[in-house]
Amino acid sequence: MMHLFMARYIFKRLLEMLPATLGVLVLTFLLFHVVGGSPAEVVLGKNASAEALALFDARHGYDKPLFFGRWQVIRAVGSVQDEKRSELPAAGLCRVPLLYALPAGAYRVNVGRLLVGLRDTVSGNEEEVLVDGPAPLTFAVRDGWKAVTLDVRAADAGKLRLEKKNGAWLDSQFVNYVRAVLKGDLGYSAEHNQPVARILREGVGPSLALTVPVLLGGTILGVMLGMLCAAWRGGVVDRLILVGSTLLMSVNYVVWVLAGQFLLAFKLKLFPVWGFESATYLVLPVLIGLLSGLGRDVRFYRAAILDEVYKPYVRTAQAKGLSGGRVMVRHVLRNSLIPVVTYVSLSIPFLFTGSLLLESFFGIPGLGNVSLNAIHSSDMAVVRAVVLLGALLYQAVNLLADLCYGWLDPRVRLG
């Protein structure tokens, strides 16, 4: 019965994660596609040709509407200057320059008279098609042909807007992105020229090799020192540990990194400075990760354990003749684990941020280093995938923390 209840609770929490994950998808999509500007210009540069930008958009699906719609504005129409207009007296039109030839497909313009110049890509034959009627006008380019010229009324030349027809109303960038994520496709890295999923898989191992020892070592060492402070509260040991933890908290994270690299690696030659060739390269980053967070950990664990020390059940256990060490380990520590679990679960996102700095300083090819390089190179697909991965990790950790609450304290109801 208990297993059925637990499975039902886990299923309920997984369902609750769906709206949050969808919200993260929407926010990251808006951040990188609307606020971040044109992905093609970010990757190729603003001096890239219009045809190169258009090919990039078509290759990555950026030529589709953001969320929904049948028509999407394209960047094929150039500016028209009066002295460069090519008048066509027979039709009463002027030529609008195209930044690139329009491939096969359906198009729409916001004018009421249009002459389209077409060219066969195989034979090179050319022909013109006059489209007339109320605005907007639609025209199609057949397979094997390209539209090379557009002629419109002189009064309409400066305000011409060209749109390409979409395959379906929901054939949009966001829908295709969500559909790809559900299939496990996180996109394609323009910087590394390979799938994002492969880049993340290659970075998971080095990141776990760095963050897991920091997390486990920091938790175990912090709890042990916190128990020593609580056991000898107010004494010399407690005061020394408190002073040491305060000093550790007073030193900036970057100072730890620079001092460790200069003194221990460069001067004393105790550790490698840069790279990831063996486990030896992880020793110094792990030590720095432990020391930089140990002061904060000790003070929190000390406060959590002291909250339990003064409770009635401790005095009852002592009155029954139990030794101080046994009371601390079997009773106080167990009841202190709920705030410990909470603290550890909240530390994981900050641990990821710390690993980003450690990996970048020590040349460890983990997720942190990948994220930093992606930000510098504006590789939006990688950055977006890392943000999504971090959001999923945070929700999964919260779920595991809630399950640990119920396991540690049966009085905690999971509902």
**Alpha carbon distances (Å) from 55 to 49, 63, 66, 78, 168:** 10, 9, 18, 17, 20
For 329, other C-beta atoms within 10 Å of its C-beta total: 12
Q: Which residues of the chain have pLDDT under 70?
A: 1-3, 5, 34-37, 78-91, 324, 349-354, 409-415
207 contact partners, CB below 8 Å, separation of at least 6: 355, 359, 364, 366, 367, 368
Alpha-carbon gap, residue 255 to 317, rounded angstroms:
46
Architecture in CATH for domain 71-165: Sandwich (2.60)
Report field, pTM of the whole predicted structure over 0.85: no
Topology of domain 194-408, CATH? MetI-like fold (1.10.3720)
> In the chain, where are the structural domains located?
71-165, 194-408
Query: Residue 406 is inside which H or E element, if any?
Result: helix 380-408
**Alpha carbon distances (Å) from 361 to 15, 21, 181, 270, 348:** 39, 31, 31, 17, 20
Query: Residue 151 is inside which H or E element, if any?
Result: strand 145-152
Cβ-in-10-Å burial (0-12, 13-18, 19+) of 237 comes to middle
Cβ-in-10-Å burial (0-12, 13-18, 19+) of 191 comes to middle
Distance of CA 353 to the CA centre of its chain: 12
pLDDT attached to residue 107: 92
140 contact partners, CB below 8 Å, separation of at least 6: 105, 106, 107
- Using alpha carbons, select from 162, 158, 149 the residue that is nearest to residue 88: 149
* C-beta separation of 138 from 104 below 8 A: no
pLDDT attached to residue 410: 65
Provide φ and ψ at 101, rounded to 5°.
-70, 140
Q: Tell me the pLDDT tens digit for each residue of 52-109.
A: 887 787 777 777 888 888 888 887 886 654 434 444 444 577 888 888 888 888 999 9
Beta bridge partners of 150: 96, 116
For 28, other C-beta atoms within 10 Å of its C-beta total: 19
pLDDT attached to residue 81: 47
- Using alpha carbons, select from 283, 293, 402, 284 the residue that is nearest to residue 347: 293
